[in-house]
Structure 1
Amino acid sequence: MRVSAFPCSDDVLPDTETLVSLPEAAEILGIPVTAVHQLLRDHQLLAIRRNGVAGIPSRFFDDNDEIVRMLPGLITVMRDGKYSDEDILRWIYTPDDSLPGRPVDALHGPLAREVVRRAAAEPF
């Protein structure tokens, strides 16, 4: 039985955003690379194809080598709102002066729940 491929978005992020390869993500999380593929299929993470190689934004991981706590919920809320993976990536990497900064950065601090609340309130 062949497992389906994992979803991988077009690269809509600035070139300055660091990506980690899927094997590197597996090492960070302490799981097999096949488990990373499953996280992508389950939309707990998003991958980007840059220069023909799949990668995950490094900001999706915290200092404890875990997925940023509110990220899977944010992805779910936005997918439920009919956002494409590319739209989600654009939104979380676009600066918002009222946060202040980018939602992806706010996910690492006390404004993480506010980011998810705003995503739920955004009109599609």
Structure 2
Amino acid sequence: MKGQLPKTLTLGMLQDRLTTIRQEHQVPTWAPVKVELNGMSFQLNTGNFAVTDDGSLALELSLPDAAVAAIAYALEHPCESPMEFLRCWNEGNFEALRTEWAEVPAEVFIGADPLHQQSGGAR
């Protein structure tokens, strides 16, 4: 189990691990870790998460791009009228998207639909 991080991390645990790495001159290994802020889940990785020398956490998180998510969904589901889907999204007819395409991911609405609720997985 050496090298694996527990599911719940505390600042003290991270500081202890960083000290151990420095002492043993190890290269840190990363296990998938997610953090949730305001009901949105973010994957932490070496590109967006760091522990500074003073033990502070540095996070660089960004919201998903709704337009990219909408185009990706339309391309992945071509049998479900992708042009109509994109037309509804472009016109802001998000209710039609929810009604006609039940499997649309939340990323399609985040930042585009002013009525979208981010917490609790509601769309």
TM-score, length-normalised on structure 1? 0.25
TM-score, length-normalised on structure 2? 0.25
Relative contact order higher in (CA < 8 Å, ≥ 6 apart):
1
> Which has the larger Rg?
2
